[in-house]
Structure 1
């Protein structure tokens, strides 16, 4: 806690009293300096408690006002005026000027030597420095400890918490490796702007930028041959000395993390993929030691999530891994598909995977799909996988979002678990003739049937949705009945056709084949 004028007044042994400039009572004192010059400002650097006996203080009110003004302009924190040598009390002109300029004036008792005031200030400054060093050392230890356990994401989370700032780390390709804090999307945007500017100017990017959005500190993460990435810290105000030391330590840890031999990282990822694939294949047993290596036990309950429409596999794996760390996870590609399957502990899985999904969307800058299975024993993770595949199939059919298996309606649940051959058979049986007729004539029978069934056979509502007259819609439904040989007034026929339409909808999506 810094030494302020208020705290100095509170030191009982000094018997100091505030006689003017109350508005500045919380100013921080960085040093105590006794000086008796008529104009002490050339020997002041800012933040000082100026102590004087008033021996050379001018007599006139105007000159005394100028004396206070010069002290204020030097950036000094306060004025301590002795009342036992030349003056019995602080001159009125000095007090008036102090009130006007907002600089505190302390009356010093004749029994209080300046050395006692200096000692109180210096002792507190020294204690502040010791506390700062202790805080920095503790912060460095925390950063090192969490980095060993959770890698870069844990390091970024801890740094953001310690600084109460937003922090993000990008690799050399500007892919976000980890982020934490408020409005990280805005921080990433500001960093991208600076990188673009510096690239055009061919300048190094390490810098501090201060604008109306606050302070942005950007540091290049050094590597053996070239820069490995960027560390950015966004704060309301510029970082202080202790905070800059923490950022420097984080930079060193990031350099070490990013410099890990690629073959070691690749080998671990291959092992993780192999364990995941074996776990999701119900016919294979997984060595418990391998499960424990990745943070799981043979009796754990897990949830499987599947993410699709993720784009190129490597960036997607990178983003999901960054979002999942530091919690234990397993991940592998979906067999014969374009998605990734992720296995996590069941406790809190819904909330955690929702966070992962949103971070992955932001990092990949694309609308991805997600499906969540139900909790299952780790030895039966394949069941949760099949449920996640069913959920992700529905997610893509209904727009890019995250869908849980427990959200599926009856039709979606029944159809999403069927292979494409079955879905195609259902759709063709009921809709094949209609689709052929539409292709030849452009009659839009399938679209009209779907609207008619969606509105429960209400002619006006369905016709309005299609933008046609109700008589036109009636004519189309007569043609549907003729081509299918079915009575549309039958509830059974309507339900069969609705199932066929849903099967057709699912077939229209490019999803992992099972």
Structure 2
């Protein structure tokens, strides 16, 4: 008979979903009959939508699908052909399972019935002991009606949650996060060219969700309506407004029950909320997706290298490119960040350079260039810089070093950020290019970057404070003379010439400096310390945003 015991010790069905065959078999009222699953063990997660007691030879005419059919076996045909027809009719109408009591007519299930149920994949369950079918009906129907009421309450809560999101103007990231939390499934928003713009994973990693995304998405059909489609069984829904499609939502399947009405409700309400968000927020979804990906890369907020590769590949960035380079652009005052962002997007597209472009922070744009092996990145950076300068002549562009792996781009972003911190407004451009690099950061620019560090301020005051106070009190100009002397690398004759002073005057002033600072200016180490302090003082006196020197 190849019988198997059903699951035991199983709790009640989760609130809000129809009970399954396994849930029903675990109920005490049926468990008392010692149920055995003869066929269809793999179908125990089928939902049970009603219970039907029958002693008719053609019960299918009274069924609508999803019923648990209970019988004593009395009406079963004697011949094998009649049994097959009986099972076929139950299968065609969509019965959940056939339960036969082995007490009155049969003490073991007929072979013809077992074979027919196995052939049509209809679960066949036998009861070894007498069971009150009416009591089974009452208990299961109460369970079904309770789950339906809970499903209605949960649907109402879904509607209320998305209404609240819409009223507070939530962005697409917040909307998808709520959808993933409510459904317990991974939810993805893609554009019309099958690029995954936002992914909110649930129970899976970004790598698992987005791996080989474009190919998988194209096999899932056009997505013109809400449906389960494709070889992976994705639940999809279009995002559109007044007949114009903007993208598609995808809810990925997970282990356990298939998609139910609640999942459809969540996905359709997500699509509605995204439509409102797109009308409210002017930033295109693609730009927002680039921003989020760039911030994850620059701040190393991704969970693993595999996740960041999957996320960027799903956005259309070639993650197997030979070279990645980070570029930072500060357009300067009077230039809208969105305008600069769009301009750089267009420039890179026209150059045929794959890249992510987005605002990393207010007033600062980030660009990640992805170039094939052997293609030099400097001409691309130069073209990008000139485009930024054409839009905003006061723009500052900093470039990090190239890296070979996408997961290492945070280093390139850090280097570009150090360049930007050390590059004051108005800093002259290098003679051979229109952007700044890490080798450009000399002592003066390094101290400019550190100008707000109290340790630099304290160092400067301890080294030069007495001279500054002496000049203020007596109207002298020792600091200027010291500067000429240090800039001339300790050459007193050159210092006198620079200051338009006699050599004797320079000698006298330098002796006063030595006395005030208790130092020996003939010492190279002491001169270096004073030169660093004087350079820092010049930077500090330039003020915030000022040009040091």
Task: Answer with 1 or 2: which has the greater Rg.
Answer: 2
- Normalising by structure 1, we get a TM-score of 0.48
- Normalising by structure 2, we get a TM-score of 0.45
**Structure ranking higher in helix proportion:** 1
